[in-house]
Structure 1
């Protein structure tokens, strides 16, 4: 009898370990890295890029979604990493202009599909929408997670900083596209949305996705705001960077990461970080 109980306990333990191994967490980061402009002086990209890359690596980031990446920054974030990437320059759909790129660990994830569309009434071609000041894009990638043996889709975008109507219409378009491209799959949607949580543009997204900060199992970590303007004494009040998911995910942790060095932030935005599990 005793031997039977021991064997039963060992079997249950092995099943528990096996199930735990099957459901591995996914660490996701959304980060507006600030485009490379010489006028930023000491905060220009060449003075920040090593810190940005070190931060990404330190947090064991599996999926990195960036905004404002110019071509050289797009390349810098890929160099000497385990990442592969999906993205297109917003000005020509190739290499010109800023990217809203999605990087993913190529050792863990297999790309199944991907693309880029523009936030406009003509989303299939480079274009500017509504009252926007600039072209804006959303890049997406369908991935197979070899650890969890599941497929899911990541969407990443950067709404216009000027056009109020453009942000509202962009949210509607994003909703339409996500429901079209990923009607049944687990979804992660990230971005610098240039709006605070009480706005119509956010309400549209929350009509079908969940703000990870609002459902995290562990208490949210870090400041409420995500925009610092490179000011060390910024009050960090305005949350404009987000990670949303659908009900296919459980959110274990959420953070706005205020990492810094020598009293300098690594970008004019804080990165937003979540640890996710498949439900």
Structure 2
């Protein structure tokens, strides 16, 4: 089956952001990008409860799974939105990137804050094909925490290894870094490297609300990876902006994938 997927750090709602980069001003642009790309799945990072409510209201064709990094609906979410007319979630869970992955709010290895992975097992309604989608956000300060997080994610247990897996995330490390190497050692393929067609190859993903280049290739810290039978037909760094307004301090990644036999 063919799916379209997006990884998007939307920048948490914070009073630190001034016009034109407040969440109220950026929200219509975020929604515009999502609707233009029309993905089947969206891995959203940094969304606090108010933003989750806003996305839910403006994206009626989607449902989502996940919980906040502080447990329940508290804190930033690494949620997975999915097209509800095309897919059904069969199972889902969130775990923490720590030495106590089942403990809400837990953190380890010098992590500045709790970090999570949300996963879902999805079945296509018209054909019955199944795929795992995983979404994460690694720590922004601790190198050790990012490396340990990659190892923990790579060793995910309880998921059917026969099914394809697609991982979206803000890894706070570039594609040449050790966390990406660790994920690749555990069988994940960086789809940016293998896609048949790439768009905006000269860009990074961390624009910081001011840099059209996204910080350049060395700041390509967001990614879409896969394990199993997954072929990337197309991948793009989406650098859409409204004049001097950037919809987020990250550019999203968008990919079209062939999943399964």
Range into which the TM-score falls when normalised by the shorter chain? over 0.9
- Unaligned stretches of 5+ in structure 2? none
- 1:23-53: CA deviation from partner (whole Å, max 9, x where unpaired): 4x21100000000012201111111001101
CA distance in 1, matches of 2:212, 2:3: 32
Q: How many residues align?
A: 254
- 1:46-92: CA deviation from partner (whole Å, max 9, x where unpaired): 1100110111011111101111000010111111421110111111x
- 1:83-119: CA deviation from partner (whole Å, max 9, x where unpaired): 110111111x211110000000010001100010000
Name the residue aligned to 2:91: 113
CA distance in 2, matches of 1:259, 1:150: 32
CA distance in 1, matches of 2:150, 2:10: 22
Name the residue aligned to 1:134: 113
8 Å CA contact 1:193, 1:242 repeated in 2: yes
Asked if 1:236 is matched to 2:215, the reply is yes
Within the candidate set 194, 200, 205, 2:183 is matched to 205
Shift of 1:233: 4.5
Q: Point out the structure with max Rg over C-alpha.
A: 1
Name the residue aligned to 1:122: 100
Runs of 4+ in 1 over 6 A off after TM superposition: none
8 Å CA contact 2:163, 2:228 repeated in 1: no
Name the residue aligned to 2:18: 41
Give the match's secondary structure for 2:144: helix
Name the residue aligned to 1:67: 45
Name the residue aligned to 2:36: 58
CA distance in 1, matches of 2:212, 2:6: 24
Name the residue aligned to 1:246: 227
For the aligned residues, what is the CA RMSD?
Answer: 1.4
8 Å CA contact 1:222, 1:257 repeated in 2: no
CA distance in 1, matches of 2:82, 2:16: 31
Which residues in structure 2 correspond to 1:1-279 (within 5 Å)? Answer: 23=1, 25-42=2-19, 43-80=21-58, 81-91=60-70, 93-126=71-104, 127-177=106-156, 179-207=157-185, 208-221=187-200, 223-234=202-213, 236-237=215-216, 238-278=219-259, 279=261
CA distance in 2, matches of 1:138, 1:219: 27
8 Å CA contact 2:208, 2:214 repeated in 1: no
- Unaligned stretches of 5+ in structure 1? 1-22
Q: Report the CA distance shift for 1:235/1:171 in structure 2 as closer, same or farther (over 3 A).
A: closer
Give the match's secondary structure for 1:170: helix
CA distance in 2, matches of 1:172, 1:105: 30
8 Å CA contact 1:138, 1:158 repeated in 2: yes
Deviates more, 1:163-172 or 1:37-46: 37-46
CA distance in 2, matches of 1:214, 1:168: 20
